[in-house]
Copies of this chain bind each other. A is one copy, B any other.
Amino acid sequence: MNSSTHGNTQIVLKRHPEGAVSPDDFELVATGMPEIADGQVLIRNLYLSMDAGFRHWMTEGAGDNYLPGMQLGDPVQSMVLGQVVKSRHSDYVEGAYLSARCAWECFSVLDGSDLAAVIEPEPGVPLHEYMSLLGPTGMTAYFGLMQLGRPAAQETLLVSAAGGAVGTAVGQLGKIHGCRTVGLTGTEAKAEWLRQEVGYDVAISREADPDLAAALSRDVPDGIDVFFDNVGGATLDTALGQLSERARIVLCGAMSQYEQERPEPVFNTWELITKRARMEGFMFSDYADQFGAAAATLAGYYRSGALVSFNQVYAGIESAPQAFCDMMHGASRGKCLVDLSEA
């Protein structure tokens, strides 16, 4: 790998994935070191965030109002944390840490758009946490749960993809707010980890309980008060069938759908009427003006040990394709990061 200051290394999209994404859909390429113009800044990337949501925009023709679809030959988009190497932008000084929506590459040029934000690491908090619990992942968990889910003590909080980056944080935040937490995951080994390490009160795996409706009837007999959904499709549909009155469904992601040609059907929207329930989508970036306060709250939980950050770290930019595929297919636990800081 060449990530010296003499050149750049990128992972580009070689072909649009069809169905399950594979490492072969990506290609590592060496390119020249980018130049910056006035109003731009060059960052050296230290951590790449592996985010399921970006899978959607890898599909051919998947552009929407939020982001355009990724083009073949372009570096793959991702949230990244980097350090300013050169700056011709008055907001960003050399040496500063930045997070932004950027790409799988060793060096990037930013102009202050793409959610760019200066990171000021607090003592006692490792830098990579700003791409995890104190970064987009933690913000997603925090604002989704607190602003949309609005959990009350004693309520039952259901979380899908509970062993993922957002799911591990949401489950713990639910416990902090006095909820009974129920996590959904793929394997029984991961369910056991959710119970023992992450602290879910109940964990349901597809492996042990292929019939989710039956498992929910057993484990959530009084109905779901808050459903934090990262999965969509049939999981969402089944949960809609078991809501309590005035339930809140937080639509965070739809992992089960990104690799499908056509979305799975949802039949149970009528339940939203009889249960007077609310279903709402969001993006963490909607709350940018409150990031500081949220980060301070989460850092407090983190330092006290009430909130543990679970990270699975892959080393080197060449590992990004495998890291992304592992994350998409349930083979990783917690937040999946690629560490470029040792390169």
Query: Measuring CB to CB, which residues of chain A are less than 8 angstroms from any residue of chain B?
Result: 64-66, 232, 236, 245, 251-254, 257, 262-283, 286
Contact = CB atoms under 8 A, between A and B. Distances in A.
A68 to B, nearest CB: 12
25 contacts: A65-B274, A65-B275, A232-B269, A232-B270, A253-B273, A254-B269, A254-B270, A254-B273, A257-B270, A262-B267, A263-B268, A263-B270, A264-B267, A265-B265, A265-B266, A266-B269, A271-B281, A272-B280, A273-B282, A275-B281, A276-B282, A276-B283, A278-B280, A278-B281, A279-B280
A263 B273 CA distance: 14
Given A257-B270, A278-B279, 17 more contacts: A65-B274, A66-B274, A236-B269, A251-B272, A252-B273, A262-B267, A263-B270, A264-B267, A265-B265, A271-B281, A272-B279, A272-B281, A273-B282, A276-B282, A277-B280, A277-B281, A279-B280
A247 to B, nearest CB: 10
A22 to B, nearest CB: 23
A276 B329 CA distance: 26
Main secondary structure of the interface of A (DSSP, over half): loop
A78 to B, nearest CB: 18
Contacts of A275: 65, 281
